[in-house]
């Protein structure tokens, strides 16, 4: 009986990191989906949004790992738009 537990324990240890990474994505999806759904349709929309957001983020996280697409690791700084005057030499 103990021989059968060793491969299972090994598999759980190997799968712990990917599962925890997906759990983080799912948690983020649940929070964002609940916020959007609650704003759009109240408490029922929040419940539906949390389920759909968790599923969408979990799928995206898993698919990006399978396809080898890196996920965003930090905040992306928005580009600052300068006025047209700075680009036109006649205005300097």
How does the average pLDDT of the chain come out, rounded?
76
Give Rg (Cα) of the chain: 22
How does residue 84 score in pLDDT terms, banded at 50, 70 and 90?
low
Q: Which two tokens stand for residue 69?
A: 């697409």
pLDDT tens across 46-63, in order?
Answer: 889 998 988 888 888 877
How does residue 34 score in pLDDT terms, banded at 50, 70 and 90?
very high
d(CA 8, CA 14): 10
């Amino acid at each position: 009986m103990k021989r059968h537990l060793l491969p299972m324990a090994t598999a759980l240890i190997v799968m712990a990191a990917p599962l925890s990474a997906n759990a983080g994505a799912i948690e983020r999806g649940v929070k964002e989906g609940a916020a959007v759904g609650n704003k759009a349709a109240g408490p029922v929309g929040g419940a539906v949004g949390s389920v759909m957001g968790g599923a969408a983020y979990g799928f995206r996280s898993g698919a990006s790992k399978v396809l080898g697409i890196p996920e965003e690791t930090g905040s992306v700084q928005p580009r600052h738009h300068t006025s047209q005057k700075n680009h036109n030499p006649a205005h300097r």
